[in-house]
Amino acid sequence: MNAPFRICFVCTGNICRSPMAESVLRARLAEDGLDGRVEVDSAGTGGWHEGDGADPRTVAVLRAGGYETAHTARQFHASWFDHLDLVIALDSGHLRELRSLAPTAQDTAKIRLLRSYAADTADTGPTSRPRRASGHGLAGDLDVPDPYYGDFAGFEECLAMVETASDGLLAAVRATVAALAHDTDRHQARNPHPPREKESA
C-alpha cells in the first residue's frame, strides 16, 4: 500500500486559522473519497497554546458549518518537513517563518500559501505553484487575516476564505495523488514481481 500524502496547515498559535483549514480540508477529502489516501494536520509557528483546544469562536463557526471541531494545539518543528509532502501557511508571515525553518531547498518547495489555491484554480497539477505578488513572492494579498483580536464576524470571514481556497487545494491534491498512483501503477506493471532473495547455500 502507498504511503498517504501528508499535509500540515500552519498559523501562529494553532487555535484559529490552521485548525479551521484542517477541518475544512478533511471534510472536502471525505466527500471526495480521498480521506484514506491523504492525512491532514495543523500546527502553529509558536508554542504559546500547546495542548489547548481551538479558540471557542473557531469551534463555533466550524460547528455552524457542520465541520469537525476536535483539536489540540501544537507547535511546528523543522524535523516534520521530512515526513510531510505539503506545508501550507495561512499568511505571508508564516510563509517566511516556515521558509527559514526548512532544512533543504526540497523542503522549501513544499511550502505554499493557502489562498494561492483560490487565486488560480486552473493551475492545479502536481507541480503547481502559488501565485506570487511582485517583489519577493510573499503574497500579502493572499493572507488569511488573523481573527483572534477581532469580533465573531472575523472568524466567519476567515472560514469563508478557507472554504474558497480549499476547493482549489482539493483539486491540486486530487491531481497530485492521481499522478503518484499512476506512477506507482506504471512501475508495478514494469516490475510485477519483487526481486527474489538469494537462497542461502
CA distance 18 to 156: 14
Per the annotation, the verdict on 107 as an active-site residue is: no
Q: Which of 17, 26, 37, 112 is catalytic?
A: 17
91 within 8 A of 144, measured Cβ to Cβ? yes
Three-state DSSP state, 1:
coil
Q: Which of 11, 28, 37, 57 is catalytic?
A: 11
Alpha-helix runs per DSSP H in the chain: 17-32, 56-64, 92-101, 105-108, 116-119, 152-190
Q: Which of 41, 123, 146, 167 is catalytic?
A: 146
CA distance 40 to 84: 10
CA distance 24 to 12: 18
Per the annotation, the verdict on 85 as an active-site residue is: no
CA distance 162 to 153: 14
Per the annotation, the verdict on 146 as an active-site residue is: yes
Q: Which of 134, 74, 84 is nearest to 109 (CA)?
A: 84
CA distances from 194 to 29, 110, 183, 197 (A): 32, 31, 17, 9
Cα torsion through 175, 108, 133, 127, rounded to 10:
-20
Residues that are catalytic: 11, 17, 146
